[in-house]
Amino acid sequence: MTKDMSAGREAATAKARRGLFGRFARNRDGAVAIEFVALALPFSMLVFAILESCISFAGQQVLTTATDNVARQLRTGQIKAAGLNETALKQKICDKIEIIVAAGCPGLEVDLREFATFEEASKVRIKLTSDKDIDTSDFDVDPGPSLSKNMLRVFYRWPVMTDFMRKSLSNLKDGKTLHFATVTWQNEPFDD
């Protein structure tokens, strides 16, 4: 009789467990919470990627516009080549991009050179160092006189703001992305 009673209790317990798990599987009260948790991380990553990309794109556009404006002033002689140095050129560009970058424009690099031909200017490439930074060793600020051919290259090390997006969006060391703008032109005839 004891064996029959214990076998009956085990059967009842097993049936009760199946009923409990069955009810749990059929219960939909917490399904929305579980689905939200499962979708919150990918949705957040998508939102942050969109915001990061939009802000970065706006920064790139501001940098391009500033580079075009300074190049136009150089091309027309409004900015004189005499006495123009790296600090003064950086300040002229920084004044135009400070609306979207940190004060003082940390990470801004400029390269302004005269070339004999447009073909020679087209051969200039962006070089990176072995530790994934901009190689500025051959950068110079040496604009040409009236009717000379010049190229202005402006680089900015754009910081990626969201930590978990930094690895996938950055292409420079320290989690930054390289923004750059280039303008090549022939100066108009103006008094040097």
The predicted-structure confidence for 127-170, as pLDDT tens digits, reads as follows 999 998 999 999 999 999 999 999 999 999 998 888 777 777 78
Rounded to 10 degrees, what is the CA torsion of 181, 75, 111, 175? -20
| Nearest partner of 110 among 59, 157, 151, 152, judged by Cα | 152
Q: Report pLDDT for 173.
A: 83
Q: What share of the chain is helix, strand, coil (3-state, %, to 5)?
A: 50, 20, 30
The number of residues in the chain equals 192
Domain chopping of the chain, boundaries:
60-187
> Are the CB atoms for 131 and 173 separated by under 8 Å?
yes
Instruction: Give CA–CA dist 76/192, Å, rounded.
Output: 11
Q: Report pLDDT for 93.
A: 96
pLDDT digit string, tens, across residues 48-98: 889 988 999 999 999 999 999 999 999 999 998 878 999 999 999 999 999
Q: What is the pLDDT confidence band of residue 172, given thresholds at 50, 70 and 90?
A: confident
Q: Report pLDDT for 12.
A: 63
